[in-house]
Amino acid sequence: MSDLFDAVRRQRACRRFSAEPVADELVEQVLEAATFAPSAENRQPWVFVVVRDAETRAAIGDLTRRAWRGGARQHSEGRLEPRLLADVDAGAEGGVSGAPVLVVVGGDAAIAVEAALPSSIFPAVQNLLLAATALGLGSALTTLTTGLAHELAELVALPDHVRPMAVIPLGHPARPLGPPRREPVTSKTHRERYGGRW
């Protein structure tokens, strides 16, 4: 297993997966890592639905495509460089749903203040993504389907008080993933006040 800083520097979105299955033990490891994230008032409102069924994965893929074609792609055109747009397009059009495992991540509004759900759920998602990277799995944070939240909730039988917040594909990458491109920390960091050089 790689160390934390190695995983942080290697973690990037994977949108193309091989057909190699992912053992339950690996899925449980990444989910356990997710549960060690901080949450508001330590309420731990995360809910994970692990989807392996091909029909359900295809239905989630259809929701993703509909959201992408229904305005998300148009929003991204001109904002993303062509290579990244092509990668996101391939993921939205079937690559993500082609992963052998989809994890639907929900937030339980019955045990946490709804306004605090994102700040409680997305640290858990980040832990999940980092753990997947450390174990050699590909993953990605996708939220396209939350635009069709009611339909996504129905597909995985979420009760009304659990809000669908993300879908994370998990699997072995179809091709090697290079490191993510990042701007230097000095271009995003200020000393004492905005504009103060780091």
How many CA atoms does the CB half-sphere of 102 hold within 13 Å?
A: 30
N residues, the chain: 198
198 falls within a domain: no
pLDDT 10s digits, 23-57: 999 999 999 999 999 999 999 999 999 999 999 99
Is 39 among the domain residues? yes
141: containing domain: 4-187
Residue at 196 is within a domain: no
Q: Are the C-beta atoms of residues 102 and 170 closer than 8 Å to each other?
A: yes
* Residue 90, token pair as written in the block: 């391939």
Please indicate, yes or no, if residue 195 is contained in any of the structural domains. no
Mean pLDDT in residue range 133-146: 95
* Kind plus residue range of the DSSP H or E element containing 104: strand 101-108
Q: What SS3 state is found at 146?
A: helix
Tokens of 98: 């082609």
> Helix/strand/coil (H, E, C) string of 152-170?
HHHHCCCCCCEEEEEEEEE
Residue 92 located in a structural domain: yes
Q: In what order do the strands lie in the sheet with 46-51?
A: 46-51, 101-108, 162-171, 138-139
Domain total in the chain: 1
CATH classification of the domain holding 10 = 3.40.109.10
pLDDT tens track for 149-176:
999 999 999 999 999 999 999 999 999 8
Nearest alpha-carbon partner for 16 in 81, 130, 105, 92: 92
72-91: average pLDDT: 87
Work out the widest C-alpha separation in the chain, in whole angstroms: 54
Residue 75 lies in a domain: yes
pTM of the model: 0.93
Say if 197 falls within a structural domain: no
Q: Residue 194 domain-assigned?
A: no
Query: Could you give the residue ranges of the DSSP H alpha helices within 117-186?
Result: 117-134, 149-155
